[in-house]
Amino acid sequence: VADEQSSYRIGTDTAAERRERARLDALARVRDPRTFTLLERCGIAPGWCCLEVGAGSGSVSLWLAERVGPAGRVVSIDVDLRFHAPPPANVEVRAADVVHDSLPDGVDLVHARAVLQHIPEREAVLDRLVAALRPGGWIVVEDGDMRAFEAQALPEPMATVHRAMIEASKARLGWDPYLGSRLPDLLRTRGLVDIDIVGDTWAMRGGDDSGEWWFLALEHVADALPALSSVTRDDVAAALALARSPGFVMLGPLSIAVMGRRP
């Protein structure tokens, strides 16, 4: 199994790049409205310094840049910047690994969405992100919990294919599909105050942003999955065809956002 097929990292062939760009854009369109509401609640204001972790398409970084204005600054980091939108002058886009590379300090606001769940060193990363905050600074972390998603009754072979994808990602990549539910405790035990928690789910449909952020990821691992599980390439194709058939709808994962302030 080629590593890039089974890993989160995206290959350099243009079909894989197109798929990842479409996936990140779909994810941003589905999740940005809630994210922006939460970032507003932190009191984001002109002049603030913000750190966007695992920026992906950069949609949140660009929104933050407008809010902090020319007197403010956004540091937008990702290990893979190929999909990041061109930044305005007050956004510094950095190729950086949040596990090892240096981070800014005295930050007013840190945001990480759908990132920590993918990083095995997530707890050490959270320590680093909290340490980057100024006293009184806010952190907003958003991750999924797949429990209800896994419990729903889906037709075969879709149920088996989803299960195989979740299991393979856990075993091979150190993905934590339930991290969202652990976030409140992880932030509280790091001494954060004024913690609030928001969770929601939505209807996933194929051919639509609501579902394609996941179905495109399934397409990405379609060639690798048969070597990691009992599913075949035909099973994956059948699951994708079903997901994209007219009228099909399924329950999305619970997406949990936790916000807290450094005292």
Residue 157 or 169: the one with the smaller Cβ distance to ligand SAM is 169
- Least separation in angstroms between residue 18's CB and ligand SAM is 15
All residues at 6 or more sequence positions from 237 whose CB lies less than 8 Å from its CB, including other chains: 222
Q: What's the closest the beta carbon of residue 54 comes to ligand SAM, in angstroms? A: 3
List, in order, residues 6 or more apart from 61 with CB less than 8 Å away.
50, 52, 55, 74, 76, 84, 85, 87, 91, 93
State the distance between the two ends of the chain, measured CA to CA, in whole angstroms: 47
Which one of residues 4, 17, 80, 167 is an interface residue with ligand SAM (CB under 6 A)?
Answer: 80
Which of 39, 51, 75, 77 lies at the binding interface for ligand SAM (CB under 6 A)?
77
Residue 247: C-alpha distances to residues 4, 82, 155, 166 (Å): 33, 34, 14, 25
**100-129 binders of ligand SAM (CB under 6 A):** 113-115, 118-119
Residue 97, helix vs strand vs coil? coil
Q: What span, in angstroms and rounded, lies between the C-alpha atoms of 116 and 236?
A: 27
Nearer to ligand SAM among residue 98 and residue 236 (C-beta):
98
- Say which residue the tokens 């240096």 belong to: 102
Q: Annotate each residue in 86-105 with x if it binds ligand SAM (CB under 6 A) or - if it does not, as one string.
A: -----------xxx------
Residues from 12 through 71 that contact ligand SAM (CB under 6 A): 24, 27-28, 31, 54, 56-57
Measured from the CB atom, is 116 or 192 closer to ligand SAM? 116
Least separation in angstroms between residue 64's CB and ligand SAM is 12
The nearest distance, CB 3 to ligand SAM, in angstroms, is: 15
Q: Based on CB atoms, which residue is closest to ligand SAM, 229 or 255?
A: 255
User: Is residue 230 packed enough to be buried (19+ CB in 10 Å), middle (13-18) or exposed (0-12)?
Assistant: exposed
Alpha-carbon span 1 to 51, nearest angstrom: 35
Task: Compute the distance between CA of residue 187 and CA of residue 195 in angstroms, rounded to an integer.
Answer: 8
Is 175 or 235 the residue whose CB approaches ligand SAM more closely? 175
Closer residue to ligand SAM (CB): 23 or 235 = 23
| Omega prior to 157 cis, within 30 of 0 | yes
Interface residues with ligand SAM (CB under 6 A) are 24, 27-28, 31, 54, 56-57, 77-80, 97-99, 113-115, 118-119
